[in-house]
Structure 1
Amino acid sequence: MDSLTQIALGAAVGEATLGRKVGNKAILWGAIAGALPDLDIVASPLLDSISRISWHRGYSHSLMFALLFSPILGWLIYKTYKKKEATWRDWSLLGFWAIFTHIVLDCFTNYGTQVFLPFSDYRVACNNIFIIDPLYTVPILICIIVVLFIDRTSRKRRLLNAIGLGLSSFYILLTLIFKFYAGTQFEHSLREQGITYQRYLTNPTPFNSILWRAVAESDEGYWIGYYSLFDRSRQISFQFIERNEELIKPIEDERAVKMLKWFSDGYYVITNHHGLIKFNDLRFGEFAVSEEEAQFPQNFGMSKARNFRYVFTFVLLNGSENDENDISILREGFSLKNRDAVLKQLLQRIGGV
C-alpha cells in the first residue's frame, strides 16, 4: 500500500499496543515502524536492474525481518527516553506489530510480498485491494489524528482508535467478498461465451473495490474483461491479447527473463515495438493506445482496442553491467496525458455505464 496508509496503520497499531502507557509516543514510533519495510527502496540504486525486481517487498517484508528487527528497534526506542514509561519488551512488541501489520496489508495487494524469505521466495498476493484506496485509509487517518488530542488514559481515545482500525479491517473483509462475487460473474460469463482457460486472476481497478478486472489465461494468450458490481448485465465483454511467447524463445533461459516471469506470476505478454522487445506485466493494467499513439485512453472494457500500453513494462536489452552477452532490463516509464478523461471513464464504469 502507499506510504501514507502504512504510516497511519502503524500509528494506529502503536496506539493500540502502547498508547495507554506512553501516549502519543506510541503513535509516533508506530508510524515510524509502520513505514520501515518500504525503506528497502533506499538500497535499490546499489543493485543491478534484475535484482531490483526481487528486492522490493523482499527481506524487509518477511516475517523473519519482523521477528529479528523488532527487538533491535525496541531497544533503540527504550534507550532514547530517560523516563522509562515502557519496557524494552513493550517497545519491541510495538515494533513487531507495526511491521507485521504492514506486511499483512501489503499481502492484500497484487504486487506480491515475499513473506517467507529466506525459506521461500513465494510471493503472497491476494489481489483484493488497490495500492491506494481512500476507503481503507481515511477511517484510520481521521481517527488517529483525533486521538492525538485526547488524554492517553481516556476510554474515548482507545474506543476511537479501535473504531478506525475496525472500519478499515471491515472494509478489507468487504473487498474479499466483492472479489469472490466478481470472480463468480467472470467465471459465468467465460463459460457462457465458450472461452476455455487454465487459470485467471481478478483485481480491483484504481482507488475502488467496485470495478473489477479479470485476466484469464488460455494457450496462446489472455482474455481481459471488466465487471462493475453495479453492472445491470451479467454479460462481460472480453478482449483477447496474444502472449507472443515466440519473441523471447531464444532468450528464455536468461536470468532476466526468468526473473520477469517469476515477478509477473506468469501473466505477461511480449511485444516488439520498433525492434525493442518488451515484457509487459498484465497484473497492473493496460491502456488503449490511439492509432497516432498520442494519448492513452483507458477504456476499462468500454470498447475494443487494437493496441495497448501497459503500466508495468520492461525493455529487454542486450548486454548487462557484468557481461555484454547477458540480457538486462530497463523499466519503461509510464505517464498519462489525459488524466481527467481517464478518471471520467473510471467513474462511469464504476457506476455501471
Structure 2
Amino acid sequence: MDSLTQIVLGAAVGEAVLGKKVGNKAMLYGAIAGTIPDLDIFASFFTDTVTALEIHRGFTHSIVFSVIFAFVFGWLVSRYETYKEFKGWAWLFFWAFVTHPILDAHTTWGTQLFWPLDLRLAFKTIFVIDPLYTVPFLVFLLLAMFQKRTSKKRQLYNRMGLILSTSYLACTILLKWLAFNQFEKALESQNISYNKLDTRPSPLNTILWNANVETDDAFLLGSYSFFDTQPITFETYQKNHDVIDKYRSLDKMQRMIYISQGWFTITEKDDQIYFNDLRFGLLNTEPNSENFVFKYEIQEKPNTKEIYFIESPKGSRDAKKLMSDLWVRVKGN
C-alpha cells in the first residue's frame, strides 16, 4: 500500500499495543515502523531493474524481518526512552512491522511474507491506494490522537479505525469473488476457451475490476463495473513470445518472466523490443492501447550476450488521463 496508509496502520497498531503507557509516542514509533519495510525501494539506486524488482517486498516484508528487527528496534528505543520495558517496545515494533506486509499481500504485487521461501502472496483484492480504506482510518486515528492516553474515547476511536479498515479489507475479498464470477460467465457466454483467469481492482476503488485472460497464443483484457448494464467485452493482445526466443536462455530474461508470473506480452516499435507486464494493466482505457503501466525496453549490452531492462517513464499526463478514463468507466458501460 502507499506510504500514508502504512503510516496510519502502523500508528494505529502502535497505539493499540502501547498507547495506554506512552501516549502519542506509541503512534509515532508505530508510524515509523510502518514505513521501514518499504525502504527496500532504494535498491533501485544500487542495482539493475530486474534485481530491484526481485528485492521489492522481499526480505523486509517477511515474518523473519519482523521478528529480528522488532528485537533490534525494541532494544534501541528502550535504551533512551523514559518507558524502559523492552518487551513492550519489541511487541510494538513486531506488530507494526508484520501488519505492513499482511496488508500488502492483498495488493497485486504481493509480498514474500514467508521469506526465504520462494512464495509471493498476492490476493489482488485492493489497489495500492484506496481512499475508502485509508480516509476513515485516518479520521479515527486523528480523533484518538487528541484524547488523553488513558481516555476510553481514545481506545474506542483507535479500535473503530482498525475495525472499519479491516472490515473493508474483508469486503474486498467478497467483491473480488463477485467480479470473478462475472468474468467467468462472460467468457462462457462468448464461448471463449482459456487457460487462466486473473482479476484485480482498478486504481483507487473496488467498484471497477480488471481481468487478464490467458489463451494459447494471446491474452484478453477486460473490465467490469458493478454499475455496468452492457455485456463484458475483451481486447486481444498477442503474446508474441517468439520475439524473445533469442533471449530466453539468458538469466535476466528468465528472472523477468518469473517475476511477471507469465503475464506478459512482447511488442516491437521503432526497432525496439518491449516487455509488457500485464498484471498492472494499462494507463488508459482506449481500445487496443499498448500504454502499459509497467513497460520495459529490452536492450543488449554492447559486445556481450547480456541484456538489461529499462522501465518506460510515466508522466503526470498519463496519471491525469487514467483518472479521467477511470471516472467515466466506473460509472458503467
1:270 partner amino acid: I
Q: TM-score of the superposition, structure 2-length normalised?
A: 0.96
Corresponding residue for 1:69?
69
Which is further off, 7-16 or 106-115? 106-115
1:316 correspondence with 2:298: yes
Distance 2:90 2:53 in 1: 30
Aligned 8 A contact 1:15 1:24 in 2: yes
Aligned 8 A contact 1:44 1:55 in 2: no
For 2:121, which of 121, 124, 144 is the aligned residue? Answer: 124
Aligned 8 A contact 1:286 1:311 in 2: yes
Normalized per residue, the structure richer in helix is: 2
Query: Residue 195 of structure 1: CA displacement?
Result: 0.6
**C-alpha distance after superposition, 1:162-213 (max 9, x if no partner):** 1011111111111111000000000000010011111111011110000000
1:39 partner amino acid: L
**C-alpha distance after superposition, 1:293-342 (max 9, x if no partner):** xxxxx22xxx6x2341111011111118xx83211111111225265554
Corresponding residue for 1:273?
269
Corresponding residue for 2:215?
218
Distance 2:320 2:45 in 1: 33
Corresponding residue for 2:154?
157
**Aligned in 2, Cα 1:223/1:205: closer, same or farther, shift over 3 Å?**
same
Query: Residue 115 of structure 1: CA displacement?
Result: 1.5
Corresponding residue for 1:133?
130
Corresponding residue for 2:238?
242
1:27 partner amino acid: M
Distance 1:317 1:343 in 2: 31
Distance 1:129 1:206 in 2: 9
Aligned 8 A contact 2:282 2:289 in 1: no
Aligned to 2:45, the other structure's residue is in SS state: helix
1:12 correspondence with 2:12: yes
Distance 1:43 1:329 in 2: 15
**C-alpha distance after superposition, 1:221-267 (max 9, x if no partner):** 1111110011124x211111101011111111211111111111110
Corresponding residue for 1:78?
78
Query: Residue 99 of structure 1: CA displacement?
Result: 0.6
Distance 2:11 2:223 in 1: 36
Aligned to 1:348, the other structure's residue is in SS state: helix
Query: Residue 343 of structure 1: CA displacement?
Result: 2.6
State the identity as a percent: 41
For 2:167, which of 165, 170, 177 is the aligned residue? Answer: 170
**C-alpha distance after superposition, 1:125-162 (max 9, x if no partner):** 11110000000011111111121110000111001001
Distance 1:68 1:342 in 2: 41
Aligned to 2:125, the other structure's residue is in SS state: coil
Let me know the Cα RMSD of the aligned residues: 1.5
Which is further off, 324-333 or 339-348? 339-348
1:142 partner amino acid: V
Q: Structure 2, unaligned stretches of length 5 or more?
A: none
Corresponding residue for 2:87?
89
Corresponding residue for 1:329?
309
**Aligned in 2, Cα 1:103/1:342: closer, same or farther, shift over 3 Å?**
closer
Q: Would you say how many aligned residue pairs link Structure 1 and Structure 2? A: 333
Aligned 8 A contact 2:222 2:235 in 1: yes
Q: Structure 1, unaligned stretches of length 5 or more?
A: 288-297
Distance 2:192 2:141 in 1: 48
After TM superposition, what 4+ stretches of structure 1 lie above 2 angstroms from structure 2?
335-345
Query: Residue 79 of structure 1: CA displacement?
Result: 0.8
Corresponding residue for 1:28?
28
Distance 2:80 2:132 in 1: 36
Distance 1:199 1:336 in 2: 33
2:99 partner amino acid: T
Aligned 8 A contact 1:49 1:329 in 2: yes
Distance 1:192 1:336 in 2: 39
1:349 correspondence with 2:326: no
Query: Residue 65 of structure 1: CA displacement?
Result: 0.5
Distance 1:142 1:106 in 2: 21
Aligned to 2:280, the other structure's residue is in SS state: strand
**C-alpha distance after superposition, 1:37-58 (max 9, x if no partner):** 0011223312233211101111
Distance 2:109 2:131 in 1: 18
**Aligned in 2, Cα 1:257/1:185: closer, same or farther, shift over 3 Å?**
same
Aligned 8 A contact 2:124 2:199 in 1: yes
Aligned 8 A contact 2:194 2:214 in 1: yes
Query: Residue 72 of structure 1: CA displacement?
Result: 0.5
2:241 partner amino acid: E
